[in-house]
Structure 1
Amino acid sequence: MLLQYRDDLLFAEPASLHSVRLLRVGLYSKSVTFQGSTSAELRQAWTCLIGTPTPRVSAPILRLAIAFDLQAREAGGLSSASIRRLETLASQGRMSVPVQPGMRLVREWKGALHVVTIDEGGNLNWKARKWHSLSEVARAITGTRWSGPAFFGLVETVRSA
């Protein structure tokens, strides 16, 4: 089956050139179209839709990737914040979890429990005092320079695939 995608039209051309079908389908129907597809059909669909060599992944993962691409085309793709986060993860291999109002960060250091709260204004509070950064709090607790997010366990390490 030969698949071509242009705008919101999905062209499906079976082995017989006599019966060419033109399907005008919404996002849900496009995703369902690939549910019964073989691995070869999915690889061909990837090449037609994405225009790059097919990644070496299983058929279910390739089906999800194709569905994501169709969804991104219809809904506008990832937000700029998501793209920045992914680029940072790809380049650095680690990413700090953003601190949000209402969070409580708890860390034990030398037998003492330290709790930092983030109020609705985004201010950091520790020992009844406002602080400018988690690194300042970590320095006050340990007496040495620390990455505040690392000290409080907010750094995610990304493993290479």
Structure 2
Amino acid sequence: MTEPIPTVARDTVLARLAALQTMPTAELKQQWRTLFGAEPPPFNRSYLQSRLSYRVQELAYGGLKPETIKRLEALGEQLDGGNITIRRIRQDDRPIAGTRLIREYQGVGHSVTVRQDDYEYEGRPYKSLSSIARAITGTRWNGWTFFALRNARGRA
């Protein structure tokens, strides 16, 4: 038997979104279990907060309209001919431009913005995440591993 879909009262949305910002990670994971009915993914706190924020609003106000879903699917088919396997494979491994990568190192938070052709850290452009990791730590690091985009064995 499947769990019923939770509901969120519209008048509680703002308070719930604000609470997510200060909620301990363990509580974020519990919220994930409650709102998604599944175990949370092993991603960082920022990811959990953003997806939970969307889910709270989705449950309160509704998800995408069926027409929007159909339009998005049609656009996807224009790009890949309807081949779902191709759709799931990115042309490159880079995160999408505009993505913010957050990493705490020795008690200091660091934020990197992915741009179209490079990365921005502390207002400066960098060609690779490894060069940013080196600027932060003073030692050589695999940037993808440092920012937890890939585990130590090289898997995304």
Larger Rg: 1
User: Could you say which structure has the greater relative contact order, defined with CA pairs below 8 angstroms and 6 or more residues apart?
Assistant: 1
Which protein is richer in strand relative to its size?
1
